[in-house]
Amino acid sequence: MNRILVLGAGMVGGAIVKDLVADYDVSVIDINNKNLDNLKNYKSVKKIKADLSNSRKIKKFCKDYNLIVSAVPGFIGFKVISEVIKCGKDVVDISFFSEDPFKLDKLAEERNVTAIVDCGVAPGMSNIILGHHNSKMKVDSFKCYVGGLPFERTLPFQYKAPFSPVDVIEEYIRPARIIENKKLLIRPALSESELINFENVGTLEAFNTDGLRTLLNTMKIPYMVEKTLRYPGHIEYITVLRDTGFFSHKKMNISGHKIAPIELTTKLLLPHWKREINEKEFTVMRIIIRGKEKSAYKEYRYDLYDEFDEKAKTTSMARTTGYTCTAAVRLILKKKFSRKGISPPEFIGAQPGCFTGVIKDLKNRNIILRKSERIIHTK
């Protein structure tokens, strides 16, 4: 039986472990006892407490496994996947680190490693869909709208963070890169808002965030944009905080103490944004792809709506992110995807048979992507 090591047992890492243990021999490492205790009912899973910021330990633990899943925090993600590749182990990564993954491409090729990065919901599932259609048509427009939200809308923010507030705030201050008329343009985060209606949800507010990542380099498409979804009104409150300086990293001297405003802001926001245990939430995503296919100019649209799993007590964000990751794991272990080097998810979508394999895996876990298509005009 294939042996898998999952690095990180947090919200998404834990969901990954639970999904893979039915088919594989799975071990998991985390520095947090609480995260490991959440897996106590999974007796066959070997649980290891360790600090993964220590690169020597990564090398020690990886040697006995066929494949590694990295679900560590983004700030150590690049370092961790680097060490895994040096060990010559295939890896699927969902840490979404800020560094350029292609800096590791040559190393992965030299070590004969298949390394899939950014393999979550968006980036991840969205990239797989685009990669699939880009291999079959001349795409000239890609739009992705995505967000995770609580059912209970509590003013003023109407939002709960599925991860650390500081990571969410980073999305609100980092400039968004988009492609327009084949040119890379920089837009302020939270800009160019639009209201969009979604079945089961109602009207949501979409705004620019820097979510295209590897697509900026791997896809030669004239127009590409990704926008984050929130309840209407969220942008206004966040913009006031940002423009007033509450998200600044520059330290200020206050009564003889130097403090960065963002440090205080994250502490203050945490109780307002913290998701309660088993609190119901949902993930919504819409992808719109347009381009020429044979003699017609067509549009493909994918709509995803997924809710908190009451029975398994698994968040929708963990399901949609984690199960996209485990689908990629299965592709590697079944030798359906074996490209050596760094592979973002769009490369998976372009590989014959992989797109349908991922969609089937997700459907088996009740994650349904509703597809529609229409001909806009013919030649």
Residues 373, 31: Cα–Cα separation, whole Å: 46
Q: Regarding beta strands 369-378 and 138-150, do their DSSP bridges make them parallel or antiparallel, or are they unpaired?
A: unpaired
Q: What's the pLDDT at 305?
A: 97
Rounded to the nearest 10 degrees, the angle between the axes of helix 55-62 and helix 74-86 is 50
- Assess whether pLDDT exceeds 80 at residue 379: no
Give the C-alpha separation, 334 to 347, whole Å.
17
Per-residue pLDDT at 162 exceeds 80: no
Q: What are the extents of the domains in the chain?
A: 3-121+315-367, 125-307
Its CATH architecture, for the domain 3-121+315-367, is 3-Layer(aba) Sandwich (3.40)
C-beta of residue 94 within 8 angstroms of C-beta of residue 116: no
pLDDT above 90 (res 89): yes
Q: What is the pLDDT of residue 55?
A: 76
pLDDT, residue 18, reads 96
Of 157-166, 196-205, 249-258, the one with minimum mean pLDDT is 157-166
Q: Which residues pair with 204 in a beta bridge?
A: 196
Give 63's pLDDT tier (boundaries 50, 70, 90). confident
Q: What is the arithmetic mean of pLDDT over 141-149? A: 97
- pLDDT tens column, 20-61: 999 999 999 999 999 999 999 999 999 999 988 887 788 889
Amino acid identity for residue 364 in this structure? N
Instruction: Compute the average pLDDT of residues 1-5.
Output: 91
pLDDT at position 124 is: 97
Q: Is the pTM of this model over 0.85?
A: yes
Helix H, strand E, coil C: the string for the chain is: CCEEEEECCCHHHHHHHHHHCCCCEEEEEECCHHHHHCCCCCCCCEEEECCCCCHHHHHHHHCCCCEEEECCCHHHHHHHHHHHHHCCCEEEECCCCCCCHHHHHHHHHHCCCEEECCCEECCEHHHHHHHHHHCCCEEEEEEEEEEEEECCCCCCCCCCECCCHHHHHHHHHCCEEEEECCEEEEECCCCCCEEEEECCCEEEEEEECCCCCCHHHHCCCCEEEEEEEECCCHHHHHHHHHHHCCCCCCCEEECCEEECHHHHHHHHHHHHHECCCCCCEEEEEEEEEEEEECCEEEEEEEEEEEECECCCCECHHHHHHHHHHHHHHHHHHCCCCCCCEEECHHHHHHCCCHHHHHHHHHHHCCCCEEEEEEEEEEC
pLDDT at 336 (0 to 100): 97
Neighbouring-strand partners of residue 147: 284
Q: Is the pLDDT of residue 71 over 90?
A: yes
Q: What is the CA radius of gyration of the chain?
A: 21
pLDDT at 57: 82
Residue-wise pLDDT tens digits, 102-142: 999 999 999 999 999 999 999 999 999 999 999 999 999 99
Give residue 276's pLDDT band: very low, low, confident or very high (50, 70, 90).
Answer: confident
% the chain with pLDDT above 90: 85
- In this prediction, residues 137-148 reach a mean pLDDT of 97
Evaluated on CA atoms 10, 15, 20, 21, the torsion sign reads: positive
Q: 208 pLDDT band (50/70/90 cuts)? A: very high
- The top-level CATH class assigned to 125-307 is alpha beta
Which tens digit of pLDDT belongs to each residue from 333-359? 999 999 999 999 999 999 999 999 999
Note the pLDDT of residue 161. Answer: 86
Residue pLDDT, tens place only, 290-332: 999 998 999 999 999 999 999 989 999 999 999 999 999 999 9
Structure tokens at 194: 């639009």
Per-chain mean pLDDT for the chain: 94
Q: What is the mean pLDDT of the segment spanning 129-156?
A: 96
Q: Please tell me the distance from the alpha carbon of residue 26 to that of residue 67, in angstroms, as a whole number.
A: 10
Return the closest-CA partner of residue 4 out of 65, 79, 60. Answer: 65
CA nearest neighbour of 148 among 231, 222, 220: 231
Cα(79)–Cα(86) distance, rounded to whole angstroms? 11
